[in-house]
Amino acid sequence: MKTRFFSCLKTLINTGGQSAASNSTKLLLICAISGTGGVAAYADSNSSAAPKKKQRVLVLGTGWAATSFLKDLDISTYDVQVVSPRNYFAFTPLLPSVTCGTVEARSVVEPVRNIVKKRNGEIKFWEAECLKIDHVNRKVFCRSNIDEDLPGDNSFSLNFDYLVIAVGAEVNTFNTQGVKEHCHFLKEVEDAQSIRRAVIDRFEKAVLPELTEEERKMILHFVIVGGGPTGIEFAAELHDFVHEDLVKIYPSVKDLVSITVIQSGDHILNTFDERISTFAEKKFKRDGIEVLTGHRVMGVTDRKLHMKAKATGEEISIPHGMIVWSTGVGTRPVIKEFMEQIGQGNRRVLAIDEWCRVRGLENIYAIGDCSTLCQKKIMEDITDIFREADTDNSGTLSMEEFEDVIEDVIIQYPQIELYLKSKMLNVSDLLKSMYNGKEEVDIDKFKLALSVVDEQTKSLPATAQVAAQQGAYLSNCFNRMEQCKKNPEGPRKFQSGGGRHEFRPFRYRHLGQFAPLGGEQAAAELPGDWVSMGRSTQWLWYSIYASKQVSWRTRLLVISDWCKRYIFGRDSSRI
């Protein structure tokens, strides 16, 4: 949170410098340091024109991206409408904790209206699902899912000037047979609640009379498909729930419980550092959680799970009592339909540019899991860059000419920085190697020097961190829209027409990631390639997750839930 606040502050100070230079605007900077981040409000005192009609901003969604966008948006300058089937924001990284009652469902949610009501002006929120986006007529069609018996039509349409799509993703079953019918997912708060009930149900069922031991074992076999952070954290939570709480109240079946994690890759937590994967695998082995790596699930029935060992091709069927499916993200129908409309039908998620705009469209933005930032390759634009840099049209670049554009190039093509970092170089090293003692370089030499850079292009992961940073970035752009139209602050445009981009492109800053592994142990990748594992990391996790809460209410609730668990254990009532 702090980091975001400081980066925000930095941007503001930069902007402040430009404003002072242009001498036409005054900057009013209000910084409120609070748990929920910094709030920055601008007022352009020179724009004394008659009150013009506010532009309509329509936001689809109330997840990380949308909430982060709304939280900092200056709603006094826009007419803001929000449509989402959920009237609350959920702190999704705590969902695995909700599945076992370590944290209560209500402690991780905050009504959207609460998040925005303290702000200047008013947003309109509608609890409904967006069914269709009509980008030509700037209209969306929505349908509320509330009780059909109530009077009034549930369908309505809304017009917009700007559309921010932040509907998130749905579970990806990879079309595996039986998954939708027989598996639990873990994307929504309701999913976590139903998993909790289902776990208790399995224990209640297993202790019923007139069952064979084999049936009891089968009922108490919990399978997790997917070895990513969510699946692993759920497995760890479940293990703790069973061994810290349930065995005490269901002592007759405590030796029949088993937990299995199935992962198609070679290691669990494979987006983490290798040391963390190894640590997690060892800990799970000690805990008696079976980890089956290199297995692909082929199908699921009510009683069995069929899978194939990738190495040997051997097909195996195992009985199960419950499966939690936690693999990858899939596309929501409304996004699929929209992608077909705009010629992105062959993609998996919406392609956006570096300014979070849906590629090829004006005024339509997409952030969070429903979008993916398609980083432009430098080699595609290399001729344009060269031409733009070659101010004297000599056909070659002098070192001065190169130095003049390199900053703008680096801003637009972050892969350069990643490449330099990976080689432990800096820009002057790049210059040196390119010029190699000469005064000028031609286009071939220029291409050659940068040709390796594009390999470093990385797509961003579908995480809360990316979504939140995109939302904050976009609200910052919206808040300074008018100002930046007058005084563009982005890098030089190398193609079409020249000039500058209005804004600096979005740049993701990875702040690290956590993997709680149960038994008060966690693993973490921290900024600066640090890796931390063990009990102290769990305490770091507690403090960071508490500080990241969206409101003081949820912060207090989450902390009191943790204390409650320490004192009384987890509740096993089936509600």
Lay out the site mask for its own copies across 7-26 (x = CB under 8 A, - = otherwise).
--------------------
Tell me the chain's radius of gyration from C-alpha atoms: 26
Contact 468, 508 (CB under 8 A): no
Q: Which of 10, 26, 248, 535 binds its own copies (CB under 8 A)?
A: 248
Distance in angstroms (rounded) separating the CA atoms of residues 406 and 408: 5
Distance in angstroms (rounded) separating the CA atoms of residues 17 and 27: 10
What are the distances in angstroms from CA 529 to CA 361, 419, 521? 37, 16, 20
Q: Which is nearer to its own copies, 205 or 306 (CB)?
A: 205
The secondary structure of residue 267, as a DSSP letter, is S
Q: Does 151 participate in binding its own copies (rule CB under 8 A)?
A: yes
Q: Does 212 participate in binding its own copies (rule CB under 8 A)?
A: yes
**Residues paired with residue 9 on neighbouring β-strands, in sequence order:** none
Distance of closest approach, residue 151 Cβ to its own copies, in angstroms: 5
Mapped onto helix, strand or coil, the DSSP state of residue 567 is helix
Distance of closest approach, residue 221 Cβ to its own copies, in angstroms: 11
Contact 541, 548 (CB under 8 A): no
With CA atoms as reference, report the closest residue to 47 among 73, 20, 77, 16.
77
Question: Residues touching its own copies: how many (CB under 8 A)?
Answer: 70
Distance of closest approach, residue 178 Cβ to its own copies, in angstroms: 11
Q: Does 400 participate in binding its own copies (rule CB under 8 A)?
A: no
3-state secondary structure 10-44: HHHHHHHHHHHHHCCCCCCCCCCCCCCCCCCCCCC
Q: Which of 171, 179, 474, 557 binds its own copies (CB under 8 A)?
A: 557
Mapped onto helix, strand or coil, the DSSP state of residue 81 is strand
Q: Which is nearer to its own copies, 106 or 493 (CB)?
A: 106
Q: Which is nearer to its own copies, 51 or 151 (CB)?
A: 151
Tokens of 479: 């808040």
Q: Which is nearer to its own copies, 135 or 184 (CB)?
A: 184
Q: Which is nearer to its own copies, 216 or 548 (CB)?
A: 216
Site for its own copies in 168-207 (CB under 8 A): 182, 189-190, 193, 198, 200-202, 204-205, 207
The secondary structure of residue 302, as a DSSP letter, is S
Site for its own copies in 517-556 (CB under 8 A): 552-553, 556
- Hey, how many other C-beta atoms are within 10 angstroms of the C-beta on 333? 11
Site for its own copies in 59-88 (CB under 8 A): 86-88
Distance of closest approach, residue 521 Cβ to its own copies, in angstroms: 26
Angle of CA points 402, 404, 407, to nearest 5°: 95
With CA atoms as reference, report the closest residue to 135 among 403, 388, 338, 422.
338
Q: Which of 303, 432, 458, 535 binds its own copies (CB under 8 A)?
A: 303
Q: Does 424 participate in binding its own copies (rule CB under 8 A)?
A: no
Q: Does 480 participate in binding its own copies (rule CB under 8 A)?
A: no
- Rule CB under 8 A: which residues touch its own copies? 86-88, 104-106, 109-111, 113-114, 117, 122, 124-128, 144, 146-147, 149-154, 156, 158, 182, 189-190, 193, 198, 200-202, 204-205, 207-212, 215-216, 218-219, 248-251, 302-303, 319, 321, 552-553, 556-557, 560, 564, 567-568, 571-575
